[in-house]
């Protein structure tokens, strides 16, 4: 989240952050947002009977801001089908694996356990299946002989801080959009993810 806020502040992303909303009142991002004079809100899932009721409250709060894009940044709850339908093609997420590999939890350890030579992260639009929406942009990095899950996660996170703001920048510039789970980049259907590797973009 901080990388995105910084990218807006320095002009990389031609947009504004309308609000930062969390389901956890102790989330560090709330204070960081407040420090940047961004409006914040908490929809604490513990105060609702079920996921659907919580997501209805979340929809109601988000609708107040009329956002063009909803960015998931450290949001670890699975969203309901109603939420995804309401904001169809306007929710983006980043996942620390080379999707479709290693959806869900512990992707770094799973990559190591599989003996992979390469790892990375994927920016994708969100659909109703976990970590299965159309992938826009990926970063790739070599897995080193002495990597463990923590070191691999740390190096991957550094790359996430580059590619996530970049994808949001493209969306804000009108270069990137999603229609019915199909991604268009510069008005052309994206048939495979764009790759960010060694500080260069590869199509």
pLDDT in tens, the chain (203 residues): 999 999 999 999 999 999 999 999 999 999 999 999 999 999 999 999 999 999 999 999 999 999 999 999 999 999 999 999 999 999 999 999 999 999 999 999 999 999 999 999 999 999 999 999 999 999 999 999 999 999 999 999 999 999 999 999 999 999 999 999 999 999 999 999 999 988 899 98
- Please tell me the predicted confidence (pLDDT) of residue 199: 83
The catalytic position among 45, 47, 86, 95 is 95
- Please tell me the predicted confidence (pLDDT) of residue 197: 87
Domains and CATH numbers, the chain: 2-202 (3.40.50.170)
**Is the bond leading into 121 cis (omega within 30 degrees of zero)?**
no
Residue in the block written with tokens 């309901």: 80
- Please tell me the predicted confidence (pLDDT) of residue 176: 98
Active site residue 47: no
- Please tell me the predicted confidence (pLDDT) of residue 63: 98
Kindly write down the DSSP assignment for every residue of the chain, as one continuous string.
Answer: -HHHHHHHHTTSSSS----EEES-TT-HHHHHHHHTT--EEE--GGGSSSHHHHHHHHHHHHHTT--S-EE-SS--SPPPHHHHHHTTT-EEEEESSSTTSS-SS-HHHHHHHTT-SEEEEEEEE--SSTT-SPEEEEEEEEPPTT--HHHHHHHHHHHHHHHHHHHHHHHHTTSEEEETTEEEETTEE-SS-EEEETTEEE-
Q: Are strands 20-22 and 176-179 parallel, antiparallel or unpaired?
A: unpaired
- Please tell me the predicted confidence (pLDDT) of residue 55: 98
pLDDT digits (tens, 9 = 90+) for 168-177: 999 999 999 9
Residue in the block written with tokens 């309308």: 18
pTM of the model: 0.96
Q: How many CA atoms lie within 13 A of 170 on its CB side?
A: 19
d(CA 168, CA 73): 12
């Amino acid at each position: 989240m901080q990388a995105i806020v910084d990218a807006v502040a320095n002009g990389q992303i031609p947009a504004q952050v309308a609000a930062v909303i969390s389901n956890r009142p102790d989330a560090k991002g709330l204070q960081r947002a407040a420090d940047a004079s961004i409006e914040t809100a908490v929809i604490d899932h513990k105060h609702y009977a079920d996921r659907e009721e919580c997501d209805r409250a979340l929809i109601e709060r988000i609708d107040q801001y009329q956002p063009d894009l909803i960015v998931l940044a450290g949001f670890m709850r699975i969203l309901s089908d109603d939420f995804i339908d309401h904001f169809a093609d306007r929710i983006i997420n980043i996942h620390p694996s080379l999707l479709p590999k290693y959806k869900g939890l512990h992707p770094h350890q799973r990559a190591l356990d599989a003996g992979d030579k390469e790892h990375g992260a994927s920016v994708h639009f969100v659909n109703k299946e976990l970590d299965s929406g159309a992938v826009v942009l990926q970063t790739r990095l070599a897995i080193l002989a002495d990597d463990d899950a923590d070191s691999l996660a740390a190096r991957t996170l550094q790359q996430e801080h580059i590619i996530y703001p970049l994808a949001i920048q493209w969306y804000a510039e009108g270069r990137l959009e999603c229609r019915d789970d199909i991604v268009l980049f510069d008005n052309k259907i994206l048939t495979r993810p764009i790759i960010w590797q060694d500080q260069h973009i590869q199509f």
